[in-house]
A and B are shown apart, each in its own frame.
Chain A
């Protein structure tokens, strides 16, 4: 007769209830770990795939190049695969203006993000595949097999037209729009795809696209040398965020994936540890009895391990299956409701590693608890031996028992449970806040993008300290105004830096500092310079600036009559190492108490300023001063100090242009127009600098915010279910002993309500301490993420300064209302769970 089997069987039956909880907790922990990891991986993969679909999967491109470069790159060690796109000429549109490039692409190119809506890429010389928007523009439907008549112009290297060919093709495929979306920086992509041999002309140029070997992805810049003077080298930072300095992903910013997994793993393990601890406590008494009846330590250990292994293995198996199932059905649900393409991605090695770590740690705990069995004393009061000891700690001074003291005593008597309970709240809080914070960041990013880029297309970089580099002639701007789908164009004229003087200039500290630190660098001279912005007479263009005036007042009449101008004087901050930081681009620095704010106070309303423009010196009158824009949007991103905002007539008096040019454009599209057609038309505006598409950027951000919110909600749901379950279990096991204790208190004359208060106070106290710890952890994480700021600070002097900086930095930037909501809901949830035993307390004495 096998003793083990009998006892194990009996024990499994006996501890059915607690093992069931252990079972459920492990299943949930596995589900939790697996589904979060899978979701997170899938999300990252989906986002990346989505970007690859939109912006192409290539890492680097060399536009406007030739075949020799293609060959050089193909043999380069860092390149994994390479594709090329050959341009032969332009297709003429209905008005005989070049509409789009015609050319060929190789098979590799087709796989880098050129997606067909219908049909296939050309295989024969008379076949053609065309981007959908170009088909519409030429007046064709998307029907395959129809004949397409094209007028094609070909040029020589100098751009001189050499040939005009008329040719009829059969439509073999329709491509989704890509040429207006990929990162080209104004270079041309092919919109009409034919075979290499279809046209009797020499190639004009080749665009070469490369996918790098994973190991060399970071070294993309090394290829710059190779491509120098052989084309325009571009890194695809639209698809690969590794190539941008901008931090685009909120989730990445706040909680790196590793940390997420770590937090999840640790919380799960503690859940399980908690259950094991309870299980061992339950077993303790019968194990002692068995030891007295002659069971050896070894026997008991084997017995307990056998029990645990059966339960744990079964639970882990079920948990893994269940976890995959939940992740998979969650994925399907998401696909179903969001009608978006998601990628279900499982990183097998990572999951196996993760699960083995969890199983390993759990079994380590199991073995540790078995070791404890060996240390059990066999004599004395078998019941609750360890618990009683703590109550009679010697040396405790006799003081009246307040509720606070009682809570302390009870907590120290149940120190282990209290620690586990802490960790539970702490871990779940961390996961909750961080997952929500991830979504919050994405949402914030979306909102900021939406606010700042109110326009759909943008020309020129207004938020730059350098002199404008882009100039568009008035006729081109007129063309844009007439493009299909364009509602409205806001066109700015902007001067270079122009020297100015005014009567109080010598006394101006602001001017002095800017002269040395700002203008010397950006204007190339050490005098005080203004930048003049010419604004049109359209109310939509100038009204914003009139409303933003902080000092003085300029009426529309005065502004239009070129009587008065508006002066923008942003506050600057002088850092310890004598650098100047503008309040515009450094939100953090404001909080450093040691930074000295410097503002211009020698110019007052009504003062006159002399500007030396192209046509000699002109005197203008300051009607209003803006020192800070209240509303952040496309119009408020002009950043240069001494910016003068005036109307176009005044501007004309200052600047000598044979041809009127505009330096910045903000282009608004009609919400009801076919966006894609507008995209194409806009991209045809020929200019040295290209027009940036903000609409796609906005949509991208919106999509990311949405997915992140869904994921956060799912994570929170799982967390909340787990918390409720564990807490409930905790209370179930504790409620008996608590009840006994409270009953005694009750018999000794303690009021029922005081007992309830005692209990609630205990729950709340533990919760609040755990949450504070959670905050500290989040805070620390943020600080570590900003290690750069940290090391800079450590270089500067004074620990006091350091802490005040840290305090201001994080407490001022954390979204307190958001954190408040999450925290309060979490506390409420915990209290709600805690109400279960309360119902029992109310029956005290009945």
Chain B
């Protein structure tokens, strides 16, 4: 069953001589429960694609469907609600709010939804990513890897249908990066979390079931393999 459907999406930035075509005629569909990696050189349009998929950036052309909902046909209110309920996003910059503690940061999407955070589930995630003992800490007391794992927990805290991660290891050293990727993979295995991951890490892309390669805003290869 298809969860995400990207149809003939294009996006340009700037105008005149400074015009940049970030994406051009991209078609992509993501199955529920799949793990997909996007790779490509810097500037090839990976982040743009992910942002469009996450409802953060309206495309110039084409449509994005989550199941049968046309994302950019929604009003801001509805789109926001959809985002906080059904999509979880992890950025390269950890984007934690520095004055909030780990647990406050994680509960933020629930607060935004005016719903009670599912603390039991959150505890479960924290256990899984080995962050249980850091709940009351502030971001500046954490290492980079711990901060990114907090961001991951925050993205997962509402049990989203789709997890998007844009180079989550980009700002981390090798070891911490591996810990974060491990955490993402655990979640995929344990919660059967549909995941779309942008990465430089060829190792993890090799482990992935499906690898999509972008070049100059176009999909140049889409290979489906076996997840190890």
Contacts and interface: CB of A to CB of B under 8 A. Distances in A.
B134 interface: no
Contact of A382 (B48, B95, B113): B95
A296 B57 CA distance: 14
A379 B111 contact: no
A290 B97 CA distance: 9
Contacts of A294: 80-85, 87, 109, 112-113
B93 A382 contact: yes
A293 to B, nearest CB: 5
A290 B112 contact: yes
A294 B100 CA distance: 18
B77 interface: yes
Interface residues of B, number: 35
B154 interface: yes
A298 interface: yes
A4 to B, nearest CB: 9
Interface stretch (A6-14, A556-564, A736-744, A801-809): A6-14
Contacts of A394: 18
A293 B83 contact: yes
A13 B48 CA distance: 35
Interface string A271-296: 00000000000000010011111111
Contact of A2 (B84, B114, B154): B114
27 contacts: A1-B111, A1-B116, A3-B111, A3-B113, A3-B114, A7-B111, A10-B104, A14-B100, A292-B54, A292-B89, A293-B89, A293-B109, A293-B112, A293-B154, A294-B80, A294-B81, A294-B82, A294-B83, A294-B112, A295-B84, A295-B112, A296-B77, A297-B77, A297-B80, A379-B47, A379-B51, A382-B91
Contacts of B26: none
B97 A299 contact: no
Nearest to B47: A379
Contact of A292 (B47, B48, B56): B56
Interface of A: 1-3, 6-7, 10, 13-14, 286, 289-299, 377-379, 382-383, 394
Nearest to B157: A293
Contacts of A2: 114
Contacts of B82: 294
Interface in B98-138: 99-100, 104, 108-109, 111-116
Contacts of B112: 3, 290, 293-295, 299
Nearest to A303: B112
A293 B81 CA distance: 9
B141 interface: no
B67 interface: no
B99 A295 contact: no
Interface in B31-77: 47-48, 51, 54, 56-57, 76-77
Nearest to B96: A289
A383 B46 CA distance: 19
A291 B80 contact: yes
B76 A298 contact: yes
A140 B109 CA distance: 93
A1 B114 contact: yes
A387 to B, nearest CB: 16
Contacts of B154: 293
Of the candidates B85, B89, B99, B108, the one having the most CB atoms from chain A within 10 angstroms of its own CB is B108
A298 B114 CA distance: 14
Contact of A286 (B56, B85, B87, B97): B97
B99 A13 contact: yes
A6 B111 contact: yes
Contacts of B113: 3, 294
Listed from nearest, the 7 A-B pairs whose CB atoms lie closest are: A294-B84, A296-B80, A14-B99, A294-B83, A378-B56, A379-B51, A3-B111
A377 B18 CA distance: 19
A382 to B, nearest CB: 7
B56 A379 contact: yes
Contacts of A382: 91, 93, 95
A786 to B, nearest CB: 52
A297 B95 contact: no
Interface in B143-190: 154
Contacts of B96: 289
Nearest to B116: A1
B170 to A, nearest CB: 13
A289 B51 CA distance: 13
Contacts of A298: 76-77
A107 B80 CA distance: 78
A139 B47 CA distance: 105
Contacts of A378: 51, 56-57
A286 B111 CA distance: 14
A528 to B, nearest CB: 83
Contact of A290 (B79, B85, B87, B108): B108
B93 A296 contact: no
A383 B91 CA distance: 13
A379 B57 contact: yes
A7 B90 CA distance: 21
B163 to A, nearest CB: 13
Contacts of A286: 97
Given A1-B114, A289-B96, A382-B91, 18 more contacts: A1-B111, A3-B114, A6-B111, A13-B99, A14-B100, A286-B97, A292-B54, A293-B84, A293-B112, A294-B80, A294-B82, A295-B80, A297-B77, A299-B112, A377-B57, A379-B51, A382-B93, A382-B95
Contacts of A291: 80
A364 B162 CA distance: 40
A6 B48 CA distance: 33
Nearest to A2: B114
Of the candidates B48, B99, B154, the one having the most CB atoms from chain A within 10 angstroms of its own CB is B99
B48 to A, nearest CB: 8
A715 to B, nearest CB: 39
Contacts of B115: 1
B76 A292 contact: no
B6 to A, nearest CB: 16
Nearest to A297: B76
Contacts of B48: 379
A394 B109 CA distance: 39
Contact of B97 (A1, A6, A289, A297): A289
A306 to B, nearest CB: 14
A289 B95 contact: yes
A2 B54 CA distance: 26
Contacts of B18: 394
A383 B56 contact: no
A291 B55 CA distance: 11
Of the candidates A294, A295, A383, A394, the one having the most CB atoms from chain B within 10 angstroms of its own CB is A294
A302 B79 CA distance: 17
Of the candidates B85, B93, B115, the one having the most CB atoms from chain A within 10 angstroms of its own CB is B93
